[in-house]
Amino acid sequence: MGRKPQKNDSLPGSLDMLILRTLSLRDLHGYGIVQFIQQSSANELLVEEGSLYPALQRLELNGWIEGVWGVTPNNRRARIYTITAAGREQLSVETRQYAKLTLAIARVMGTE
């Protein structure tokens, strides 16, 4: 269902996983998540910024993350997202699948 390929993503559908991973490290608001992903990937991954918000809605609807109104480090009102227990579980599922997938691709490509 409904995961549209993200142009700037290196792998289709990985945005959800990246968000979950980010939030599993710390609670952040939307822009914070973008910054974090870019910084921690050493600017290799460019998240299509607009696509972040549909993704956040989707994740929240599935009960994997929760947004509450709070204040950013810059003292601005923003929705701060927190990962839920279900979200962590989902993250581990997606992480395993991702590992399997990359391993398989690596095998095919002979890079393993």
Residue 103 beta carbon to other proteins: minimum distance, rounded to whole angstroms: 22
- In 3D space, the residue among 39, 11, 13, 14 whose CA is nearest the CA of residue 26 turns out to be 39
- In 3D space, the residue among 83, 53, 79, 51 whose CA is nearest the CA of residue 67 turns out to be 79
Collapsed DSSP state (helix, strand, coil) of residue 66: strand
Q: Report CA-CA distances (Å) from 33 to 16, 21, 78.
A: 11, 10, 12
63/61 Cα distance (integer angstroms): 5
Interface residue with other proteins, options 14, 79, 82, 84 (CB under 8 A): 79
Site string for other proteins, 24-53 (x = CB under 8 A): -----xxx--xx------------xxxxxx
Residue 110 beta carbon to other proteins: minimum distance, rounded to whole angstroms: 32
- Residue 89 in the binding site for other proteins (CB under 8 A): no
Total interface residues for other proteins by CB under 8 A:
25
Query: Which residues in this chain contact other proteins in the complex, by CB under 8 A?
Result: 1-2, 29-31, 34-35, 48-54, 56-58, 61, 63, 72, 74, 76-79
